């Protein structure tokens, strides 16, 4: 396996793509360190400390800070990161099956894809303007969200600060979007996914530092919440969760498909071809986790303004982040969105029609409507198993934090969005590198078999 990494530098094209990818990732990390003008960094650090204590209110900021690699905590020019572009892509994916014009645009070939991507960029700019305005107002008035003790974060608040901040954040997000597209075209892997993955991994050294501080501090004082036994348990759990995430990402059911014989000439017929239709266990990826987390974060923000009634005094602690009520709602939303995403993206009728047009059929199943019913029934059962596994993986960091007192910066690497993104993107990127190696007659990363794409 180590020889595969050395062989990557022996292929000129692959070496060039790797250097382009590493260089652009370095530029993205620089963008997460340059702060926006007009913000006091010391007061900003106090703001995020208070959000750590009030995790329910800081849910949106925590998610964006995770995907931006700490840029939101610095309120840097790349604070919005690649997420506006990802959000625009998700919006268009959900709207394409519903709006016939978008569906027709996708089927028009290269010209249609260019128009589609242009609309995606316009939506990205609109999302950047909205989010930039919200964050600039939050920086000017953090006390309205009960996230700060009242310390002034913005040195010169006002309309000019809002305008300059919106322009800066929008320009930074569009720059990162452009850099991600360059990685996709001239680098290796999917640019947007790689940027998110690197931003998440960038928080790993801080998590390891906090973990070692807790363990060494407890060993020095003879007490503490964690010791070496906890470290061994956490390491064993980490490898098990990683293995489960890989199995969930790569797992699929192969539906056999046969294609009928075709006449190739006078007295000649082609042999029966056998293939398979892969039905992925985790068809929706991390989208249900992102949707569920985003939806639950906004009610917690609204509850900060709720009147001091007995009902709200009872409701707020029972739906706060990490509570039993939050875990139940979070898990239910992940299950619902898993089926929603499959229902929106997986079309068994179209798949059955395509198979019938190409002369393909599933052994034992009649073409047409019986095939679509079989695929729908099979995908429903597979999605149920995948949704349950995804729910367990998503709530594991919160259970770990509640039961063992592990800080969120550490527990987020034991499941949830972070681990799934890291595993999925790493497998896709390694598969592309392995393809270059095998095409040049070099060995791949595995001695037996090949890496599969999660798509």
**Does residue 305 carry a pLDDT above 70?**
no
| 188 in the same domain as 215 | no
Domain boundary among 383, 398, 414: 414
Tell me which of 242 and 414 has the higher pLDDT: 242
Name the residue with higher pLDDT: 407 or 276: 276
pLDDT digits (tens, 9 = 90+) for 66-96: 777 778 888 889 888 888 888 888 888 778 8
Tell me the C-alpha distance between 263 and 248, whole Å: 42
Residue 163: pLDDT band with limits 50, 70, 90: very high
pLDDT of 194 > 70? The answer is: yes
Do 382 and 319 sit in the same domain of this protein? yes
32 domain-assigned: yes
**pLDDT given at position 56:** 46
**Does the global pTM surpass 0.85?**
no
pLDDT for residue 23: 93
- Among 182, 202, 222, where does a domain finish? 202
| Average pLDDT of the segment spanning 266-292 | 78
**Same domain membership, residue 192 and residue 229:** no
Q: What is the CATH number of the domain that holds 53?
A: 1.10.3370.10
Q: Are 181 and 216 part of one and the same domain?
A: no
Q: How far is CA 64 from CA 75, 293, 297, 307, in A?
A: 11, 11, 12, 28
CB 197, CB 422: distance < 8 Å: yes
293 shares its domain with 325? yes
Claim to verify: residue 323 and residue 393 sit in the same structural domain = yes
Same domain, 381 and 270: yes
What pLDDT was estimated at residue 419? Answer: 84
- My answer on whether 208 and 197 are in the same domain is no
- Range(s) of the domain holding residue 109: 1-202
Domain-ending residue, one of 202, 237, 266: 202
Contacts by 382-385 with C-beta closer than 8 Å and gap 24+?
382/253, 382/279, 382/280, 382/281, 382/283, 383/283, 383/284, 383/338, 383/339, 383/342, 385/281
Residues 208 and 198 in one domain: no
CA dist., res. 48 & res. 37, Å (int): 18
The total of structural domains in the chain comes to: 2
Same domain, 180 and 208: no
Residue count of the chain: 455
Q: Are residues 237 and 109 in the same domain?
A: no
Same domain, 271 and 169: no
């Amino acid at each position: 396996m180590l020889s595969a990494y050395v062989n990557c530098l022996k292929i000129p094209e692959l070496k060039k793509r790797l250097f382009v990818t590493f260089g652009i990732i370095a530029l993205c990390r620089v963008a997460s360190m340059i702060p926006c003008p007009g913000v006091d960094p010391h007061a900003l650090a106090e703001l995020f400390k208070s959000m750590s204590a009030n995790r329910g209110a800081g849910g949106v900021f925590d998610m964006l800070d995770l995907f931006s690699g700490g840029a939101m905590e610095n309120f840097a020019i790349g604070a919005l990161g690649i997420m506006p572009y990802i959000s625009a892509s998700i919006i268009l994916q959900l709207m394409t099956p519903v709006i016939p014009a978008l569906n027709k645009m996708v089927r028009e070939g290269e010209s249609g894809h260019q128009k589609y991507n242009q609309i995606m960029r316009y939506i990205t700019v609109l999302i950047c303007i909205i989010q930039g305005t919200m964050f600039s107002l939050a920086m000017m008035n953090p006390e309205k969200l009960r996230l700060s003790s009242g310390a002034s974060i913005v040195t010169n608040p006002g309309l000019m600060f809002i305008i300059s901040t919106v322009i800066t954040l929008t320009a930074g997000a569009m720059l990162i979007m452009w850099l991600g597209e360059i990685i996709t075209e001239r680098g290796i892997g999917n640019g947007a996914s790689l940027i998110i993955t690197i931003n998440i991994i960038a928080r790993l050294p801080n998590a390891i530092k906090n973990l070692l501080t807790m363990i060494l501090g407890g060993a020095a004082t003879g007490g503490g919440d964690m010791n070496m036994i906890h470290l061994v348990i956490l390491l064993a759990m980490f490898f098990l969760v990683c293995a489960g995430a890989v199995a969930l990402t790569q797992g699929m059911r192969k539906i056999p498909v046969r294609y009928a014989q075709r006449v190739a000439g006078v007295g000649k017929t082609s042999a029966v071809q056998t293939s398979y239709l892969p039905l992925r266990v985790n068809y929706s990826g991390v989208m249900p986790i992102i949707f569920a987390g985003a939806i639950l974060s906004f009610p917690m923000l609204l509850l900060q303004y709720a009147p001091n009634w007995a009902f709200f005094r009872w409701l707020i602690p029972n739906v706060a982040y990490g509570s039993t009520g939050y875990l139940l709602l979070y898990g239910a939303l992940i299950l619902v969105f898993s089926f929603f995403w499959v229902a929106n993206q997986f079309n068994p009728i179209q798949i059955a029609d395509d198979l019938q047009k190409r002369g393909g059929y599933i052994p034992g199943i009649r073409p047409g409507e019986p095939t679509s019913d079989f695929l729908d029934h099979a995908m429903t059962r597979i999605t149920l198993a995948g949704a349950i596994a995804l729910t367990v993986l998503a709530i594991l960091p919160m259970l770990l934090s509640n039961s063992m007192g592990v800080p969120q910066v550490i527990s987020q690497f034991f499941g949830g969005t972070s681990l799934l993104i890291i595993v999925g993107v790493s497998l896709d990127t390694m598969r592309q590198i392995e393809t270059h190696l095998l095409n040049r007659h070099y060995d791949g990363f595995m001695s037996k078999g090949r890496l599969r794409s999660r798509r």
